[in-house]
Copies of this chain bind each other. A is one copy, B any other.
Amino acid sequence: MAVYQHTIEVATDGRGTFELSDKIRKAVSQSGIETGVCQVFVHHTSASLLLTENADPDVRRDLEAFMARTVPDGDPLFHHTLEGPDDMSAHIRSVLTQSGLSVPVGDGRCLLGTWQGIYLWEHRTSGHTRRVTVTVTGE
């Protein structure tokens, strides 16, 4: 058994999705681990991880539209508005998705399905530098 850990930084330019799949595949490859689990974690509470269809960009457009309707910025329900109308909505979007997700590793590869992509989802309207840690355990 072995463990490999690598932290990456992702510069976002505001709300939207940023694909991480290749960076994660590379970390798995560099780990030298044949069978195990790859865990991905974002160290923030207003950005999250998204695993969804990677072929048609409209999927992510529709997800964004769904979130905009379900968790509206500037909702009068919110008290936590210190950083603006997208502050609390960003936290809720993060809670409804994932701060961490795991993907199996087999044959030395990250076993994402054919149509699965992993994205960093920036929920703030302005850009941020987001830290993501990839940890691979196995043998």
Contacts and interface: CB of A to CB of B under 8 A. Distances in A.
A112 interface: yes
Contacts of A71: 66
Contact of A69 (B77, B95, B98, B135): B77
B80 A58 contact: yes
B102 A100 contact: yes
A139 B3 contact: yes
A2 to B, nearest CB: 7
A106 interface: yes
Report the copy number of this chain in the oligomer.
3
Contact of A61 (B69, B79, B92, B103): B79
Query: Chain A binding site: helix, strand, loop or mixed by DSSP?
Result: mixed
A125 interface: no
A65 to B, nearest CB: 5
A56 B88 CA distance: 11
A101 B63 CA distance: 21
A28 interface: no
A16 interface: no
Interface of A: 1-3, 5, 35-37, 39, 41, 43-46, 50-53, 56, 58-59, 61-63, 65-66, 69-71, 77-80, 82, 88, 91-92, 94-106, 111-113, 115-116, 131, 133, 135, 137-139
